[in-house]
Structures are given as C-alpha cells and as structure tokens.
Structure 1
C-alpha cells in the first residue's frame, strides 16, 4: 500500500495520516523510501528491457528534467534524461531514463548508446530542444537520423534576441510558417519571414537563418505527421505528470530514489499508452518512401520497413 501511495505522489504527511488508521504511530520519509524499494525490480526490468522486438522506432523525442537530491551532506541538482519513441505499432513508449549529474554531451552520449545497445533501431528523426552536446550525441549514436529542434523551445530562444515591441509581429510570422499545407509552402513562408526581419532586425534574421535546417526538419516527412514531430509538447505533458508525482518528495535522499519513482511513473505511463489508441496511424507510418526537402533538392530516402496492423 505504501509503495502504491508513493507512486501516486501522496505526500509523506498524508501517508502518515493514512497508516495511523491502520494502527501505525508514525511514518518517516526514510521508512517510506525503504517500503517503496519494492518498486526497484519493476523499474530495473523496465529500464533494461530489450527494444528490438517493438521497433523500429521511427520517431524519438528526448528531454531532461531537473531534480533535487541530497549528496555529500548538500542538496544538489541532478537531471533525469528521458526518451520516448513511436514503435512499429504506432504507439508511444518510454524508451529509457537515466539520472546524470548534469545535462551534457557525454551524458546524452552514454544514454543514447545504452538505448542502441538495447535494440533501438530505425530512427529517422529525433525531436528535442537545443541543449549543448545532444545533437552530436544523436549523430554519433543514431547515424542517418535527422534532428528536429523543438518549435516551442526555439520560439523562446528567438524571443530572447527580438526587441520586445517587435516580438508579436515576429511571433505571428513564425507561427504562420507552421500553418502552411506542404513543404514548399513552408519554405516560401520562411523566406518571407527572413525578408521581413532582414533589414529591420539583422540579429533575428541571422538567428533564423542559422536555425533553418533544424527547425524545419519536420518537412522531410509526410504532412500528416507534422504536429506529432515538430515539437516536444507531447513530452512536456509527460513531464508535468512526473512533476505531479515527484513534487511531494521535494528533495530525494539518493539518485536511486529518483530512478525508482520516476522509473515507476514512466513504466506505468508506457502501460497506459499500450492500452490506449495509437499515437500515429499505421497508414501514415507505412508509407513506402520518405522525402527530405531542402532548399534546392528533393532527396529520396530508402524504403521504410513494411508495417502491419
């Protein structure tokens, strides 16, 4: 019962009141943690499960959350690296998680290498924000996969270099890029955005030009997929659920405790996705060829593996 309450995000104070009705005088945080250790085997099996049978995972999203943990007598920050993917059945899965000291290139490289070792294959696109080192880790571990810079995070980055009085106009034009019906129209509207800011806001124009390939990577895939792959918003909803469960803990006693609770939440979420409706339709995933549209050329990708219902 205590383990279930712990997973549900019930605070120690509320749990203490609950167990008093069962004749237990008090319940400390350390006692709760020891009782919740029953989750460790479930989480370990989930984290280390083979990924090969469920693949290929054509689309992957990666994100990180910061947690507080007590180490060496001090409260320090740690990050939880999380990756989700869309499997061969069109359903989402949490592929893995890893607790690291900070979000760095080596940390992402170790995390992605573990996913590949467990059977992650067939990745065509990884969506994430632009943390340093992540793009290099993707290139090193997932050769051939494109990188989509999350449109939501990019908008925040662009806002930081845009004068406040000009941001509403720039934001509206940026959003209009994503409203276009096909890849050529997206490219043309992006050109119009560049033309609009070129003379007025040269720093903004430079920022947009440098990010063009990364924020428009989604146009290399069928239009029916765009809303699912051009941002990390679906993972943000997952992050909010993790926060809801972990806020009652506040400061974790160890990194293992972070892995235990977050891992159990993610395992539970993966089970719910498996029972729910498909994230992507098989008819879209099963298109025999993908094209990548660049400024000057259209390059055909090799055929995707056939998918069946």
Structure 2
C-alpha cells in the first residue's frame, strides 16, 4: 500500500515562481509597483489620472525614471512627478532590501492565491500604505490579475514542461 505524500503546494509554487521565471516575476513586480505608485499619486492629487474633479489639489507633471534592483533583476521605474511639491514612494526609498522582499512576497501571494480586492488591500497595508481608496485598490487588483492571467495563458512552445498530476 502506498502512502500519500504531503506537498505544501503554495510553498512549492512560490519557490518555482521566484527561482525559475525571473522575467515573469520582474514583469509582475513592475506592474504592481507602477499601479501602487499611480494610486498613491492619484490620492495626492485628489483625483485619478486624466480625471476632472473639483477636489483636485495637484496635477501630475510627467515621470522620472529610477532603477530598482530586485532579486528578479533591475526594474526601470517611472515615478510620477507632481506639478506642486514632490512625490517619492517612502516604502520604496527606505530599507530597499526589505521593500523588495515585501513586494516580491505580495506579488507571489497574489499569483498563488488569486487577486481579490480585500486581499490586495491587506497586502498593501503590510507595506505600510493606508491612504488608498477602495476604488484604487480595485484598479490595482484588476491590473495585477490581468498580468497573472496573461502569464497563466501564455503559449508553452519552448522549453521543458513542468506539470503536476
């Protein structure tokens, strides 16, 4: 009689995601970071990008590009500039290694467990960001969900196939 082997599937998939597909992880990280910075910039401006509102207090004024080194490779980040004042994500500036590790964990968790608005809100709060509205969190979840879906449905013509039965 055979015994069933217990496999910690989330841990195995998280390891595979962080070790074998650096390009995919890099793309997911870039998507998540840009969505998060866009949501924070919208919160600072008082209105969404390109949206007219009486509550608007500031406007975007282009982007500045910065390199962000991660375990998946370097990311070219387009950080939104403000017309009045400045914006730089504190969660990215301080403790770079810890921020990179937290972002990688957030993206891997979203990939493994699926992306829901409530889960995304909790994951963003783990980064120390609490000023995002529910609609901004929802937009971020949709963007990351689209990137994950594109990865899951990509063609597998080249390379070895890994599957679980």
TM-score by length of 1: 0.20
TM-score by length of 2: 0.32
